[in-house]
């Protein structure tokens, strides 16, 4: 029997007093970070979207009137010069996605001049991505969000820990605004940046991510940014084939990591300054644009084009063009990212994953393993698996694709395929890609 003298606690003895949450003021600061990040990233996205649409007009015009190539090449050389001037003073902070640099800051291995990096990343990212280089917008968006978080933190008299939280808020808000995916933004922060779950930091980051996404809705509406209308679930008979596909994607993911981590070494063999390495991809992208302008850029538009391809084109011709697209996208993604320019790898990875899924679906449909209606399903789950294996972030991958595509119907096959691909890549020696890039960049 309980001690009759023991006081029995009531709800008021256990619950906190109303409006005494210790970090409510920090949440408001996180919301400010999210709103500002959402605004800047939305403008960044809008400029890229309109410019890439413009390339689909410009390149056919140059293909039919070659004389226009001369001013376009001169403009490209001017972009190389301007990009070099912008990145020269902050090259280490501005190259690539910016995520390894943010990780280094949070590990006290690096510091950045947030205001300087913010505008240079914005302008430099546009100069690199808008001409059609195979770079993602999300890396610059994440770093710009982190810059905003750092700047807001410096404006208030708060502790170093709280300033760190606001920088992390910027990371979550940046990814959220880049893809209209607030949950993925927070999970990415935990799974790839901080590697821990602190309620105070995560709730503040969620407030920032939601705020950023609300701003993107004003610019782009409520439609998921990569909406793919899945019409049916994968049949049960196809599940054993996911094991084979997972093995293949795991191998390809490790190959991507291996090539990506050799880029700086390959480019170091060039005998001219790194700030002008961009001349290589910016000139090489021109013949690619003349061949097929829709393939240029990150590019979520190209994923939609792949999703609309049909086996009615003929098995051999469809498979051939998809393989050619994959090879071109893989090689030029490497050429683009290695050239000391601002730009991310999320979207290029997702495009490659979509092509892997399309190739796999084409083969399985041809041999009657899956019906035609499951073509989109393989594209979606392969994007998640390839991304999850390369990034070694399966939870981020599944959440991101679910939010981007706008469907939860394929979570189980997506989780199975992502898990297998992740295990295979890791078993071969793969590492979390941003941690590996940080080690390559900052550890000697």
> What pLDDT score was predicted for residue 345?
94
Q: Give alpha helix (H) positions in 309-345.
A: 315-337
Please report, for residues 20, 39, 270, 354, 396, the alpha-carbon distance to residue 216 in angstroms, rounded to integers and kept in the order given. 32, 7, 41, 24, 20
> What pLDDT score was predicted for residue 341?
94
| pLDDT per position as a tens digit, 206-215 | 999 999 999 9
Residue 44 and residue 141 in contact, taking contact as beta carbons nearer than 8 Å: yes
Distance CA 428, CA 59 (A): 41
Distance CA 236, CA 281 (A): 44
> What pLDDT score was predicted for residue 200?
81
Distance CA 283, CA 264 (A): 19
**Three-class secondary structure of residue 249 per DSSP:** helix
> What pLDDT score was predicted for residue 31?
96
The overall longest dimension of the chain from CA atoms, in Å, is 97
Distance CA 242, CA 261 (A): 28
Of residues 341, 339, 343, 334, the one with CA closest to residue 277? 339
pTM greater than the 0.75 cutoff:
yes
Cis check for the bond before 299: say yes or no (omega within 30 of 0). Answer: yes
Distance CA 317, CA 348 (A): 24
Distance CA 404, CA 383 (A): 11
The ranges of the chain with pLDDT < 70 are 1-6, 18-23, 311-312, 443-444
Distance CA 316, CA 146 (A): 47
> What pLDDT score was predicted for residue 2?
53
Q: What tokens appear for 425 in the block? A: 């890549």
Distance CA 401, CA 377 (A): 12
**Count of C-beta atoms within a 10 Å radius of residue 74:** 10
Cβ-based burial of 225 (10 A; exposed 0-12, middle 13-18, buried ≥19): middle
184-197 CB burial, b ≥16 within 10 A, e <16: bbbbbbbbbbbeee
Residue 69 and residue 287 in contact, taking contact as beta carbons nearer than 8 Å: no
How does DSSP classify residue 16? P
């Amino acid at each position: 029997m309980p001690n009759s003298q023991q006081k029995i606690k009531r709800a008021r003895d256990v619950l906190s007093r109303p409006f005494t949450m210790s970090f409510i003021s920090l949440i408001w600061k996180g919301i400010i970070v999210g709103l500002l990040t959402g605004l800047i990233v939305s403008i960044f996205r809008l400029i890229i979207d309109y410019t890439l649409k413009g390339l689909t007009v410009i390149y056919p015009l140059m293909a039919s009137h070659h004389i226009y190539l001369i001013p376009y090449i001169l403009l490209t050389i001017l972009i190389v010069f301007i990009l070099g001037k912008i990145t020269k003073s902050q090259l280490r902070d501005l190259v690539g996605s910016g995520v390894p640099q943010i990780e280094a800051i949070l590990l006290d291995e690096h510091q950045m001049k947030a205001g300087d990096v913010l505008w240079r990343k914005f302008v430099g990212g546009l100069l690199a991505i808008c001409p059609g280089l195979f770079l993602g917008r999300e890396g610059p968006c994440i770093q710009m969000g982190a810059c905003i978080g750092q700047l807001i933190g410096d404006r208030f008299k708060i502790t170093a820990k709280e300033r760190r939280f606001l920088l992390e808020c910027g990371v979550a808000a940046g990814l959220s605004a880049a893809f209209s995916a607030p949950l993925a933004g927070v999970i990415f922060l935990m799974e790839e940046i901080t590697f821990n779950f602190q309620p105070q930091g995560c709730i503040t980051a969620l407030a920032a991510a939601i705020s950023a996404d609300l701003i993107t809705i004003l610019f782009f509406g409520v439609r998921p940014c990569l909406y793919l209308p899945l019409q049916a679930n994968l049949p049960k008979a196809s599940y054993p084939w996911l094991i084979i596909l997972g093995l293949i994607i795991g191998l390809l993911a490790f190959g991507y990591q291996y090539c990506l981590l050799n880029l700086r070494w390959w480019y170091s063999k060039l005998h001219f300054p790194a700030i002008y390495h961009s001349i290589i991809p910016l000139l090489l992208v021109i013949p690619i644009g003349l061949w097929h302008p829709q393939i240029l850029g990150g590019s979520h538009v190209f994923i939609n084009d792949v999703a609309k391809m049909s086996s009615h084109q003929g098995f051999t011709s469809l498979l051939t063009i998809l393989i050619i697209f994959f090879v071109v996208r893989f090689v030029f993604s490497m050429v683009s990212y290695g050239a000391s320019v601002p730009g991310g790898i999320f979207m290029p990875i997702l495009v490659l994953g979509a092509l892997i899924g399309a190739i796999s679906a084409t083969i399985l449909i041809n041999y009657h393993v899956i019906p035609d209606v499951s073509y989109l399903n393989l594209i979606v789950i392969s994007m998640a698996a390839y991304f999850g294996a390369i990034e070694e972030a399966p939870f981020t991958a599944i959440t991101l694709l679910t939010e981007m595509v706008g469907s939860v119907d394929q979570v189980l096959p997506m989780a199975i395929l992502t898990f297998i691909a992740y295990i295979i890549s890791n078993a071969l020696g793969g590492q979390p890609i941003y941690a590996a890039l940080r080690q390559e960049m900052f550890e000697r």
